Chains A and B, each alone.
Chain A
């Protein structure tokens, strides 16, 4: 008797995943406000009632989507290497690859509609992003580390916003071009002081 129960619970989670995937696509394309529960249901071939069985509301679907991408661990040489650091920053940035729809949602709903849940999520992503960079910056630029990190994250957020608006539907494609990556590395390198505050090898 146990088997059917297991199967039905797996089916349930499969349709929940389908609902989430459809919602992500629609929210990302048309925005949260403009997307209706009905559209989400239609996109995954379910009834409204079936969707509501898994999630109590459109809001609950949105909140279930707020899963942070995994950042790679930053490993850098012990001596200051601006090029390696810039590459590490850009690697961190590209951990959003495959999650750009989520980024667009944060931009629209968080930055512009000031939705508290989206703002909180965006803020936590930003903090964990900076946390990856700060130890290295603190080591080489003890008096300047917060400011450097803040300048970099401000630039990257502005870059995302600018390109989302500029490229529209082509964003995903253009952002993954090697040229875009190289451009970002040059920009980040530009923001780093050319020489470390503390001479190499003193720590």
Chain B
């Protein structure tokens, strides 16, 4: 029966590892990366400091693991690749924005951590946030440059990124999480009105016509 014992141990280790990640993410998100010490992460999941170091070399490694494993953008990008053939440009921009907000909502906690640390010039956080921004920006430009003059495409992409960021932090005004804001009908309507407003249908159509 040694194999089964090994399996059981492996399972237990996987569970513990993921409990540590959960606790760390929660602490990083609510109190900040700086004040969340390894000791406090350990206490939150009922482990000793030493036990944490069995799984992770440092707090920094916990953060980079969280970024790698708990920030899933592939689903968001898949959704985006499904809409690139949308013939109506304003509808395309609108749906791109919608997908981006959904992706942000799915990863809200880790995004909050990375953005906040990025603002405080934490090097890893800054690099990660820049590369994610670049991924979305490239995705947008790929689609938009086929239909709009180059400069307008860059403008629209930047606006959409900025508006999604503005919406991300505006949820504190409603006393709810961003995820709730994106999903609750009463807020959702408002969020979507903003995207539609910012990319006035007539204007985008006129720009598209001008580019052809």
Contacts and interface: CB of A to CB of B under 8 A. Distances in A.
A194 interface: yes
Main secondary structure of the interface of B (DSSP, over half): helix
Chain A, interface size category, equals 35 or more
Contact of B118 (A155, A165, A169, A193): A165
Contacts of A114: 172
Given A33-B35, A165-B119, A158 B166 contact: yes
A111 B198 CA distance: 22
B120 A30 contact: yes
A10 B121 CA distance: 37
Contacts of A183: 155, 158
A41 to B, nearest CB: 21
Given A108-B119, A157-B170, A166-B130, A190 B203 contact: yes
Q: Among A154, A155, A162, which residue has the most Cβ atoms of chain B within 10 A?
A: A154
A161 B198 contact: no
Chain B, interface size category, equals 35 or more
A191 interface: yes
Nearest to A104: B119
Contacts of A119: 172
A190 B167 contact: no
Nearest to A114: B172
Interface in B34-81: 34-35
Nearest to A189: B203
Interface of A: 30-31, 33-34, 104, 107-108, 110-114, 119, 123, 144, 147-148, 150-151, 153-159, 161-162, 164-166, 168-169, 183, 186-187, 190-194
14 contacts: A108-B119, A147-B194, A150-B197, A151-B197, A151-B198, A156-B166, A158-B161, A158-B163, A158-B165, A161-B169, A168-B126, A183-B155, A187-B158, A190-B199
